[in-house]
Amino acid sequence: MTDSTTALPKAKQTVLGLYVTAREAYEQCLAAPDKVKIIDVRTPEEFMWVGHAPIAWKIPVFAVTYQWDAEKKQFPARPLSDFVARVQKIARPDDTLMVMCRSGGRGAMAVNLLAKAGFKNVYNIVDGMEGDAVKDPDSVFNGQRLKNGWKNAGCPWRYELTADRMLLPNAPG
């Protein structure tokens, strides 16, 4: 497990200071499946189109707004107010939780929300599902998420979804 925050970008750091890589989280879950829960906080679109870890609980922390932000060149996301309540359906404050997003930023936000709600053993999976982007302008892979992460570490993942490990927010309207 990663203890130091010195090499972590600020966006991946949490108030609890507990960090693991995707590979470490997977190995810990295999070693103690009754004690360690992996929580994937990405959006349902990401679970479906990018893939997901079958052993992870899918509990989104944000939802995409589908309103284009021309300045930021993205579809902004909004936090889901019932995130902690959905996590509380499967976990207690003393459980060991490993939180995963795409690459560690939203995971850190989710860890902080859970810590504020009294959860104590919540780790940010700092490389997330897809890992970090290659930063090499001379590489044909520049900008692609091919460094570390669940998928790149050889951890099991798939595209097909089942409802048994999804705790989604209520649909609007």
Higher pLDDT, 39 or 66: 39
Residue 6 banded pLDDT, cuts 50, 70, 90: low
Token pair of 70 as six digits: 């021309």
Q: E-strand spans in the chain?
A: 19-20, 36-40, 57-58, 62-64, 77-79, 96-100, 121-125, 132-133, 145-147
- Mean pLDDT over 81-94 rounds to 97
Question: Could you tell me what percent of the chain has a pLDDT over 70?
Answer: 92
Residue 172 has pLDDT above 70, yes or no: no
Phi-psi region of 148 (alpha: psi -120 to 50; beta: other; left: phi over 0): left
Residue 136 banded pLDDT, cuts 50, 70, 90: confident
Question: Could you tell me what percent of the chain has a pLDDT over 90?
Answer: 78
Which CATH architecture fits 10-158?
Answer: 3-Layer(aba) Sandwich (3.40)
Which residue ranges make up each domain of the chain? 10-158
- Mean pLDDT over 104-126 rounds to 97
* 75 Cβ contact list (under 8 Å, min separation 6): 64, 65, 66, 67, 68, 69
